[in-house]
Amino acid sequence: MLNASNITFRIGNKPLISDISVSFACSKLHLIIGPNGAGKSTLVKVLARLLRPQTGKVEYEGTDVSTASEAELAKRRAVLSQAVEVAFPLTVREVVMMGRYPHFGGRPGPTDESVVDEVMQHFDVTEFSERDYQTLSGGERQRVNFARVLAQLWRDGTVDAAPSCRYLFLDEPLTFLDIRHQIDFLKKIRTFTDAPDVVTVGVVHDLNLAARFADQIVLLNEGRLIANGAAAEVLTAGRIEEVFKVKPTLIQSEGSGMHLIFD
């Protein structure tokens, strides 16, 4: 359970987000939408505590995160970003292993090695294991990063009564992916989020994908919260036209929910 109350974040005198209060539940996929400059990415960074808001607070399970240490936070909070550039030649396995950094001191232990093996298999990157990350395509890189992020949040299934929730943030990770990868990624995120202790909050640009995959949609505009709820409640024709300045036609289809077509 993640709770944000009265969040305002400014750079200089310019507020990027103003007075946002919103909460996010476990096992639900929450997607933030809004036009460019709405403050979506800023909100995700504040929730993940990369940025510290001037006013308001972010709580993970009722505990204020502003005093948590980086190392402690990294054990249960991970962020999948837009595009990760590696400055030096690293192998794919080395990049994925970084996800385990918060969990070991000196050298990776057997658990870390087996977690890395498992996530790499899950994301179909085992065959690149020893390849230089810099030589991969955008889609392949993003699969590697997703594997890294899941390695970070990995929890052994045998441990019951999990001590705390895990928080996954998505900072526009689908931007440079083709439609097949976008859908594939969202399905994997959906599956991961189904775990009872996972809170997922992300930014996605495509309104149709958001409508199809999100349990809860948060609509922002000019740094303010406009609406928050299920896709059908938030995505009304009037609201979309007002915020995005394009006129949509909404089609309800059986099975895959709601579709938007723009003029």
Partner 1 sequence: MTKQYAGRQILIIALAVVTLLVLAASIRYGAIDFSIAEISRALTSLIPGQPAPTLDQRIFLELRFPRAILCLLVGASLGVGGTLMQALFRNPIVEPGLVGTSSGAAFGSALFFVLGGVFHIGASLWSLPIAACAGGIISTYLVFLLARSREDGRASIVMLLLTGLAVNALFMSAIGFLSYIARDPQARSITFWSLGTLSGASWKAVEIVAISTLAGSIIALRYAKQLNALMIGEEEATYLGVNVNRLKWIILSVNVVIVAVATAFTGVISFVGLVVPHILRMLGGADNRFLIVGSALTGATLLTLADLIARLSVRPAELPIGIVTSTVGVPVFIFLLRRRQYVF
Closer by beta carbon to partner 1, 125 or else 240: 125
Say which residues have a Cβ less than 8 Å from residue 2's Cβ, sequence separation at least 6: 23, 24, 47, 58, 59, 60, 165, 167, 199, 201
Q: Binding to partner 1 by residue 263, rule CB under 8 A?
A: no
Q: Which stretch binds partner 1 (CB under 8 A): 14-22, 94-102, 223-231, 252-260?
A: 94-102
Closer by beta carbon to partner 1, 41 or else 221: 41
Closer by beta carbon to partner 1, 1 or else 98: 98
Q: Which of 26, 57, 101, 126 binds partner 1 (CB under 8 A)?
A: 101
Q: What is the 3-state secondary structure (H, E, C) of 92-151?
A: HHHHHHHHHHHHCCCCCCHHHHHHHHHHHHHCCCHHHCCCEHHHCCHHHHHHHHHHHHHH
User: Whose structure tokens read 């539940």?
Assistant: 25
Q: Binding to partner 1 by residue 81, rule CB under 8 A?
A: yes
CB of 91 to partner 1, least distance (A): 7
How far, in Å, are 3, 57, 165 from residue 76 at the CA level? 16, 18, 7
Q: How far is CA 224 from the centre of its chain?
A: 20
CB of 245 to partner 1, least distance (A): 29
- Distance between CA atoms of 82 and 171, rounded to whole angstroms? 6
Residue among 170, 165, 231, 192 nearest 26 (CA):
165
String of contacts with partner 1 for each residue 34-73, x by CB under 8 A = --------------x-x------------------xxxxx
Q: Binding to partner 1 by residue 26, rule CB under 8 A?
A: no
> What are the residues binding partner 1 (CB under 8 A)?
48, 50, 69-75, 77-79, 81, 84-91, 93-95, 98-99, 101-102, 106, 113, 130, 152
